[in-house]
């Protein structure tokens, strides 16, 4: 016949191990715009997109949108001669901005494109 004291300890220890609750990891959305603090950092970020993904027009436009958000979309839209809504649309993932729009935004955020021999 099993010892009652042993049985109680065994069942008690089982309860302790099964009552642990799992903690869920909470994540926050990363926003690169919060990391772009200076014009030099903004230019380096855009340059990295241009060098690493020169054929990714959507990615480059989104990178320019990140820079515009850092500078303030309202100010960038005003300085570029665009409405804020059209600026958001042009620089979104589904946007298809014209080269003229890209150049206006580039000037408005204070960066420049440079050409060099390949």
Over the stretch 46-75, which tens digit does the pLDDT of each residue have? 999 999 999 999 999 999 999 999 999 999
**What's the Rg (C-alpha) of the chain?**
27
pLDDT tens per residue across span 75-85: 999 999 999 99
Instruction: Say which DSSP state 94 is in.
Output: T
CB atoms within 10 A of CB 57: 14
Q: Please give the average per-residue pLDDT across 88-104, as a whole number.
A: 93
The CA distance from 55 to 17, in Å, is 55
Helix, strand, coil in percent for the chain, rounding step 5: 60, 0, 40
Please give the full DSSP string across 15-33, using - where no structure is assigned: HHHHTPPPPPPP-----GG
């Amino acid at each position: 016949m099993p010892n009652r004291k042993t049985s109680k300890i065994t069942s008690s220890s089982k309860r302790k191990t099964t009552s642990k609750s799992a903690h869920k990891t909470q994540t926050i959305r990363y926003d690169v715009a919060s990391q772009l603090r200076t014009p030099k950092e903004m230019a380096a970020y855009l340059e990295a997109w241009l060098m690493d993904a020169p054929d990714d027009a959507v990615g480059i436009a989104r990178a320019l949108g990140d820079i515009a958000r850092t500078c303030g979309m309202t100010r960038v839209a005003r300085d570029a001669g665009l409405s804020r809504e059209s600026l958001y649309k042009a620089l979104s993932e589904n946007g298809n901005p014209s080269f003229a729009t890209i150049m206006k935004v580039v000037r408005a955020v204070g960066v420049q494109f440079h050409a060099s021999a390949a």
